[in-house]
Chains A and B, each alone.
Chain A
């Protein structure tokens, strides 16, 4: 079965760039859309965006100006970059597969803290 695993720095400085990668195992990244969702501590889920294996992307309007999602088919992984981060971007970041308009499975999530 498909499994996803987020990786990347757990601490990013304010005004810096957050960079995360999601590795996909047990299946091909060419099978679906792939999504990033985040959850600030103690708060709800927020959709960030998605990418198809061809490179087509869709982003949340509220984050579009700061976010780039890319895919590396050779490594079966996809990535998230978010620029100009502030403390408000502190969150657990999840990657997930998107199929039939739902997200499943999900990675375990990675906590990214924005702080100096």
Chain B
């Protein structure tokens, strides 16, 4: 069974920068995994932020950026705002139409 790893939580000050990561327990994440990042606030469906590693979805502010850092996918928030206080999930494409979500990272802006 594929295990995707994410940090449980991060705290960032308004205006600060935070980098979340998304890894695989038994392999390196690459562009071939089409890592995708979703943002979710309570009671709402997820919102797509980044897909194909580093492509911002329509309407997503440019303070959100995606990359591969070492052997993990990464989501960086530069200049965090109060609105960014959310849960962030990554999803990894494993091939054969199979996707696996990470457990999520709770980001607190304070």
Q: Which residues of A are interface residues toward B (Cβ below 8 A)?
A: 33, 37, 44-47, 49-50, 57-58, 60-62, 94, 100-104, 106-109
B55 and chain A: residue at smallest CB distance: A100
B89 touches A44 (CB 8 A): yes
Contact A108 B45 (CB under 8 A): yes
Q: What does DSSP make chain B's interface, helix, strand, loop or mixed? A: strand
Residues in B lying within 8 Å of A, measured CB to CB: 1, 34, 36, 38, 40, 45-48, 51-52, 57, 89, 91, 93, 96-104
- Contact between chains at A44 and B102 (CB < 8 Å): yes
A61 to B100, CA, bound (A): 11
Shortest beta-carbon distance from A33 to chain B in Å: 8
Q: Are A102 and B97 in contact (CB under 8 A)?
A: no
Contact (Cβ within 8 A) B48 A103? yes
How far does the alpha carbon of A101 sit from the alpha carbon of B57 in the complex, in Å? 13
